[in-house]
Amino acid sequence: MYWPKEGTEIYGMIQVRLIKEDILAMYTVRTLSILHSKTKRKKHGFNERLVYQYHYTNWPDHGTPDHPLPILSFVKKSSASNPHDAGPIVVHCSAGVGRTGTYIVLDSMLKQICHKNEVNVYGFLRHIRTQRNFLVQTEEQYIFIHDALLEAITCSESSLSAECLSHLLKTSALPDHSHEHWKKLETHFQALTAFQPKDYNLVSANKPCNQVKNRSQQFIPVECSRVHLTPKPGVDGSDYINASWCLGFKKLREFILTQHPLTSTVFDFWQMVWDHNAQTVVLLSPLTPDSEEYCVFWPAEGETLDGENFKVKLIEESELDGTVSRDLTVQSLQDDCELTVRIIQSPVPEPLSDLPALFQLLSTVQQWHLEYQNGPIIVIDRFGGTEAATFCCLATLTKQLDYENHADICMYAKLYHNRRPGVWQTMDSYLLLYQALEVLSASKGVSLVPSPSPTHLQPNGYNIAVDKS
């Protein structure tokens, strides 16, 4: 590591001080101050420079990122952070060829598309390889560049203009689907939900022994993002639960989206809680105490739920402003390990129909989770579908708004769809994300405006910026 973990370090004649470090899901941004010990002090202070280091942390050596959208966002933001009067951007990876070359080609081609309306990956790569050999190291990285540029162009062409979005939000109660703006939304939505999983993406979910664990075959986890349980030796499918990992703004695995536990999968649910050290559970599905459809999945007061390796006990139940919280402990039967878990229940049976109540629930959950940030937040709705995805997506977007003053709605919505296909069932379910952020901004006394795009290319489709003037 060539920068200090904290405080100040001296490297030869260069003093480097870490001012700030922001750790996000896909990358980390560090603000560093550098000072040459031999240069003369300026008349009004030190000869100090600020360096912004953008460190992408989800890109394997010799490989490629899982999806183009996050790296396109990273390239755009890191490149834009370099002032016009500054020197060149320093790009490196471990060897300075594979991932480094991929970044340089993407940044240059995105700018070429904007300024010349053309792209020449092969010609540009041949040119820069005369300056440094082996840039873009593998065929996989070369293919990824083309996939990423295609994603950028496709998203840009289907993005929603300010006029279009304004019309959609104003007419959402009585939509005219024959209007050009609603047709534009349809095209945008089709691009957003284009990924359709193949059979090999759903191997575990479609096993006969696992199909009975799914409330609906419409909401099942794809293989690359499903949550694994500790398997039982010799029991086929014992590592399966209908649950999917979803990223947040700060962590790659910030959320688990899952269905309301079936009577037959209650112990699987608590095994997931235990295996992944989850201490916050958000319950969005309505309970049906008189039937087994959406049953209570925790023990009554004074009782325990006994599994093979742990037992679950209810400690306390409380209510504040209609929001019910239940504190439980999950205790190991082998040793003294104990996990504190809080289930926070939605105060309304249909959370998406009451946006102020949904944001109040979000605030309650985030305040509690600040104390227990090690594990993921488990979010439950009937099927692990739209309600849970909306909750997680809004939690992520509100954090991004606070940190960056804009929200990449299209990017996160598409990544959520790819990790759990079907969560956006209709255009209205997607448009609700825009409506929700509009409600949130109004409550904070700020307005939402389209993000300016000086290059006229928006790799992440439409995003929203906050106008605090």
* Domain end point (choices 100, 135, 157): 157
Asked if residue 177 is part of any domain, the answer here is no
Query: Exposed (0-12), middle (13-18) or buried (19+): which is 207, by Cβ within 10 Å?
Result: middle
Are 142 and 249 members of one domain?
A: no
Map residue 421 onto helix, strand or coil.
coil
The encoded tokens of residue 294 equal 């959406």
Are 200 and 140 members of one domain?
A: no
Task: Give the whole-angstrom CA distance, residue 158 versus residue 153.
Answer: 9
Are 152 and 224 members of one domain?
A: no
Asked if residue 216 is part of any domain, the answer here is yes
Asked if residue 459 is part of any domain, the answer here is no
Task: Give the whole-angstrom CA distance, residue 20 versus residue 329.
Answer: 37
Map residue 175 onto helix, strand or coil.
coil
Asked if residue 426 is part of any domain, the answer here is yes
pTM, rounded to two decimals:
0.92
Are 208 and 251 members of one domain?
A: yes
Instruction: Please identify which residue in the block is written with the tokens 């205790």.
Output: 331
Map residue 212 onto helix, strand or coil.
coil
Asked if residue 3 is part of any domain, the answer here is no
Are 132 and 238 members of one domain?
A: no
Task: Give the whole-angstrom CA distance, residue 460 versus residue 458.
Answer: 5
Integer-rounded Cα radius of gyration of the chain: 25
Are 69 and 118 members of one domain?
A: yes
Asked if residue 81 is part of any domain, the answer here is yes
> Is residue 349 within 8 Å of residue 324, measured between CB atoms?
no
The encoded tokens of residue 101 equal 């070359």
Are 148 and 198 members of one domain?
A: no
Domain count, the chain: 2
* Domain end point (choices 131, 157, 183): 157
Are 121 and 254 members of one domain?
A: no
Are 229 and 294 members of one domain?
A: yes
Are 204 and 150 members of one domain?
A: no
Map residue 461 onto helix, strand or coil.
coil
Distance of CA 110 to the CA centre of its chain: 23
Asked if residue 403 is part of any domain, the answer here is yes
Domain of residue 353 covers 192-444
Q: Quick one: which of 364, 395, 363, 135 has its CA closest to 248?
A: 395
CATH of residue 104's domain is 3.90.190.10
Per-position pLDDT tens, the chain of length 469: 999 999 999 999 999 999 999 999 999 999 999 998 887 665 555 578 999 999 999 998 888 999 999 999 999 999 999 998 899 999 999 999 999 999 999 999 999 999 999 999 999 999 999 999 999 999 999 999 999 999 999 888 888 888 888 899 889 888 898 999 999 999 999 999 999 999 999 999 999 999 999 999 999 999 999 999 999 999 999 999 999 999 999 999 999 999 999 999 999 999 999 999 999 999 999 988 777 789 999 999 999 999 889 999 999 999 988 899 999 999 999 888 999 999 999 999 899 999 999 999 999 999 888 776 679 999 999 999 999 999 999 999 999 988 988 889 999 999 999 999 999 999 999 999 999 998 888 777 766 666 655 444 554 444 666 666 5
Asked if residue 365 is part of any domain, the answer here is yes
Beta bridge partners of 449: 465
The encoded tokens of residue 348 equal 């309304």
Are 313 and 219 members of one domain?
A: yes
Are 80 and 213 members of one domain?
A: no
Catalytic residues: 93
CA–CA distances in Å: residue 447 to residues 278, 437, 462: 35, 10, 16
The encoded tokens of residue 108 equal 């240059």
